[in-house]
């Protein structure tokens, strides 16, 4: 039985035969989008994007971690993005996660504690607002005036804006 990786690798080989050619390094819409790694989120479809139009940055919860800030600094300073979309979503695994209990479970399984926060949150709108503020306050980002936050409802496909 083939693994999921084998199946995906076969799809990549088929993609190569249909490859339309390289795209510009600079995203044509000059937008960076930070969202969750959740597999239900199809950022290209949600925003009507095509390859080469935006930077898509993903991590668990769509949190603005130091690594996300690093990527945004590179995106803006080297690759000419000027606007940032921050998109969280409903039914996220980090929403209402009991982080201390999760850590205890990991330690019990591995005898090691994670050296990082997992980023659980209880209020989805507040989490989006915190993300917006964190990006707006980051001193290394030259373009902090067009930062907007949204919640994608995975149950309906609805996207709503969260205002700070």
One digit per residue, the tens of pLDDT, for the chain of length 164 reads 889 999 999 999 888 888 988 999 999 999 999 999 999 999 999 999 999 999 999 999 999 999 999 999 999 999 999 999 999 999 999 999 999 999 999 999 999 999 999 999 999 999 999 999 999 999 999 999 999 999 999 999 999 999 99
Number of structural domains the chain divides into: 1
Q: Using alpha carbons, list the distances in angstroms from residue 93 to 22, 37, 106, 140.
A: 36, 10, 16, 30
Q: For residue 81, is it within any domain? A: yes
**Res 8: pLDDT:** 92
Q: For residue 55, is it within any domain? A: yes
Q: Which residue from 122, 35, 123, 23 is spatially nearest to 72, judged by alpha carbons?
A: 35
Q: What is the residue range of 49's domain?
A: 24-162
pTM of the model: 0.94
Tokens of 85: 């979309």
- The neighbour count for residue 150, using CB atoms within 10 Å, is 19
Q: For residue 36, is it within any domain? A: yes
> Residue 80: which CATH number?
3.40.1050.10
- The neighbour count for residue 154, using CB atoms within 10 Å, is 15
**Res 1: pLDDT:** 83
**Res 2: pLDDT:** 82
DSSP H/E element including 86: strand 83-89
């Amino acid at each position: 039985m083939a693994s999921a990786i084998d199946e995906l690798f076969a799809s990549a080989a088929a993609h190569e035969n249909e490859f339309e050619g390289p795209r510009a390094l600079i995203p044509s819409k000059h937008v960076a989008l930070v969202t969750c790694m959740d597999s239900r989120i199809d950022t290209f479809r949600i925003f009507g994007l095509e390859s080469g139009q935006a930077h898509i940055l993903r991590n668990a919860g769509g949190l603005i971690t130091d690594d996300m800030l690093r990527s945004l600094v590179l995106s803006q300073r080297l690759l000419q993005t000027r606007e940032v979309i921050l998109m969280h979503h409903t039914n996220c695994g980090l929403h209402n996660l009991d982080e201390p209990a999760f850590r205890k479970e990991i330690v019990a399984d591995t005898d090691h504690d994670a050296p990082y926060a997992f980023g659980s949150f209880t209020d989805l709108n507040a989490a989006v607002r915190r993300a917006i503020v964190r990006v707006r306050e980051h001193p290394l980002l030259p373009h902090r005036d067009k930062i907007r936050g949204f919640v994608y409802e995975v149950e309906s496909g609805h996207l709503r804006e969260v205002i700070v």
